[in-house]
């Protein structure tokens, strides 16, 4: 994350703040610049920036899908919809890799080569 600071008033909390410009990698090689209020922590992104990121994702062949985590016992469960299972040839027992940093978990499901 790349940070550049500038002093102004927050559009959300109305307090004088040093707004930070933050750059997040939303997919490998795709970045979105947002502004974050250092007082309330609220982040916002311009329409142009979001459209640019969407075009970049499309160009690289990414499709983003937001899923809600479920719970089974003590574990959180990520459900993969049936159409994606079928499209990608995923099966029960396939392995999923979780790449974790202090504030993010990326999920990677590599489709196994099967006969
Ligand atoms: Zn604020």
In a domain, 65, yes or no: no
Range of the domain at 24: 2-60
At 5 the pLDDT is 65
In a domain, 115, yes or no: no
In a domain, 17, yes or no: yes
Average pLDDT for residues 50-67, to the nearest whole number? Answer: 88
Judged by DSSP in three states, 43 sits in strand
Q: Are 84 and 63 in contact (CB under 8 A)?
A: no
CA of 24 to the centre of ligand 1 (A): 19
Query: Which is nearest to 35 in space by CA: 61, 12, 60?
Result: 12
Residues in the 5 Å CB sphere of ion ligand 1: 10, 12-13, 37, 39-40
17, 26, 47, 114 from 41: Cα distances, Å: 10, 19, 20, 47
Same-domain status, 9 and 41? yes
The count of structural domains within the chain is: 2
Average pLDDT for residues 76-81, to the nearest whole number? Answer: 91
Same-domain status, 46 and 76? no
At 114 the pLDDT is 60
Same-domain status, 50 and 89? no
CA of 43 to the centre of ligand 1 (A): 9
Asked whether the CA dihedral 10, 16, 17, 19 is positive or negative, the reply is positive
The pLDDT tens digits of the residues spanning 4-42 come to 666 788 888 889 888 788 898 888 888 999 988 889 988
């Amino acid at each position: 994350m790349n940070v550049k600071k500038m002093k102004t008033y927050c559009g959300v909390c109305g307090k004088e703040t040093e707004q930070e410009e933050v750059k997040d990698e939303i997919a490998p090689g795709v970045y979105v610049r947002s502004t974050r209020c250092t007082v309330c922590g609220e982040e916002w992104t311009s329409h142009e920036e979001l459209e640019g990121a969407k075009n970049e994702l499309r160009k690289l062949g990414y499709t983003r899908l937001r899923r809600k985590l479920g719970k089974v016992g003590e574990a959180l469960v990520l459900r993969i919809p049936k159409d994606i299972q079928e499209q990608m040839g995923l099966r029960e027992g396939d392995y999923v890799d979780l790449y974790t940093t202090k504030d993010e978990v990326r999920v990677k499901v590599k489709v196994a080569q099967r006969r």
